[in-house]
């Protein structure tokens, strides 16, 4: 049975203005999100992951940002929605879980009031019904004493509890799409796993599609259905999660996976990806953007205009350099 597509991004360009020029931080990205799917977007800091998320819900400042392409939701292109139109779908149909819960929650308002805000704006529930829904949400996200937590302020909660509160806010109106932007970055490994498991469980209950933004491939190994790997504003590899982890092809994907600590390699040095991501102003707009970080691979192995190739069903890889890629320190090279 074919999956129900709930979001489609076509040739998205999001550029930021420096002086009198715009430089694309997201450069020609196309993606789809299906109902009940967890799509992970991974890559180093500054590769454009969060810029995609903010573009979907119109959170960029139009005075120094230029967004073009198409973002199709419910058959309509929402990319140029007015602030009023975006306010009608933010929270109600597209929930957003921000990276820093302490900065995202209002320090002057109690937790219960902050969860109820979205219910006041987007629903017709009366005061009693809103309180019941708020307490039910706190219970759903695993907070043991919801009545007590509802009366507390953000600074009185642990990082894990604050993140659960943000998830409760995002889920309050049972949205079709949840965007989770680095939701586990500031949490320890145990709490990270709990938060991701919680997201997966709640996703099934409301039949939502989730876009999970993260820099950590290890975080998504057990949870994602599909993975898009980004580098320097472009998708360099896109595949089902199982396929990507079992058969990574792009040099950048292989390098990321090779950088994950492994119990079998105790005592050995971790793999380090050479060089740095170039700044937006100095980013090469032609050819393979990863070329400078794998200088031992011949120029002839790279495409002049690198594009995504479907190398097997649903598995896309950018450029042709993956065909003859090897790590510099591999034996016999």
Q: How far apart are the first and last CA of the chain?
A: 46
Task: Look at the domain 5-93+175-330 and name its fold.
Answer: Rossmann fold (3.40.50)
Q: Give the pLDDT score at 184.
A: 79
CB distance 173 to 137 below 8 Å:
no
Task: Give the whole-angstrom CA distance, residue 226 versus residue 242.
Answer: 8
Whether pLDDT at 2 is above 70: no
Mean pLDDT to the nearest integer, 177-203: 83
Place of tokens 């209002």: 106
The two tokens of residue 87 are: 């306010």
pTM reported for the whole predicted model:
0.92
Q: Give the pLDDT score at 268.
A: 60
Mean pLDDT to the nearest integer, 241-255: 96
Question: pLDDT tens for residues 154-172?
Answer: 999 998 899 999 999 999 9
List every span in the chain annotated with CATH 3.40.50.300: 5-93+175-330
3-state helix, strand, coil in the chain (%, to 5): 35, 25, 40
Mean pLDDT to the nearest integer, 280-292: 90
The two tokens of residue 245 are: 């982890």
Q: Which of 236, 212, 240 is nearest to 225 (CA)?
A: 240
Whether pLDDT at 219 is above 90: no
Buried-state track 135-167, b at ≥16 Cβ within 10 A, e below 16: bebbebbbbeebeebbeeebeebeebbbbbbbb
CB distance 36 to 209 below 8 Å:
yes
Question: pLDDT tens for residues 65-105?
Answer: 999 999 999 999 999 999 999 999 999 999 999 888 888 89
* Helix, coil or strand: residue 34: strand
- Helix residue ranges, H only, the chain: 49-56, 83-89, 101-104, 111-122, 127-140, 146-150, 159-171, 189-206, 217-220, 241-246, 251-258
Confidence of residue 255 (pLDDT cuts 50, 70, 90): very high
Task: Give the whole-angstrom CA distance, residue 175 versus residue 52.
Answer: 19
């Amino acid at each position: 049975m074919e999956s129900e597509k709930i979001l489609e991004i076509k040739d998205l360009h999001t550029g930021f203005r420096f002086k009198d020029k715009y430089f694309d931080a997201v450069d020609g990205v196309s993606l789809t999100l299906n109902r009940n799917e967890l799509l992970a977007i991974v890559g180093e800091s500054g590769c454009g992951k969060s810029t995609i998320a903010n573009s979907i819900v119109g959170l960029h400042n139009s005075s120094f940002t230029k967004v073009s392409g198409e973002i199709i939701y419910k058959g309509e292109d929402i990319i140029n929605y007015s602030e009023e139109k975006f306010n009608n779908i933010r929270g109600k149909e597209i929930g957003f879980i921000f990276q820093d819960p302490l900065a995202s929650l209002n320090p002057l308002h109690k937790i219960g009031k902050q969860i109820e805000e979205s219910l006041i704006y987007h629903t017709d529930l009366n005061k009693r019904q809103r309180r019941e829904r708020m307490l039910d949400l706190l219970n759903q996200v695993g907070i043991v004493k919801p009545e007590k937590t509802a009366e507390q302020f953000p600074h009185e909660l642990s990082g894990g509890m604050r993140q659960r509160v943000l998830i409760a806010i995002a889920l309050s109106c049972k949205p079709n799409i949840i965007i989770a932007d680095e939701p586990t970055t500031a949490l320890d490994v145990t709490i990270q796993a709990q938060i991701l498991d919680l997201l997966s469980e709640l996703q099934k209950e409301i039949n939502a599609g989730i876009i999970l933004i993260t820099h950590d491939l290890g975080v998504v190994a057990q949870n994602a259905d599909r993975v898009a790997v980004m580098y320097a504003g472009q998708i360099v590899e896109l595949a089902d999660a199982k396929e990507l982890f079992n058969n990574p092809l792009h040099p950048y994907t292989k390098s990321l996976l090779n950088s994950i600590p492994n119990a079998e390699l105790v005592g050995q040095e971790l793999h380090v990806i050479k060089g740095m991501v170039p700044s937006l102003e100095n980013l090469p707009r032609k050819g393979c953007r990863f070329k400078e970080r794998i200088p031992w691979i011949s120029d002839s192995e790279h495409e002049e205009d690198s594009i995504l190739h479907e190398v097997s069903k649903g598995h896309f890889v950018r450029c042709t350099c993956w065909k003859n890629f090897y790590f510099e320190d591999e034996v016999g090279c």
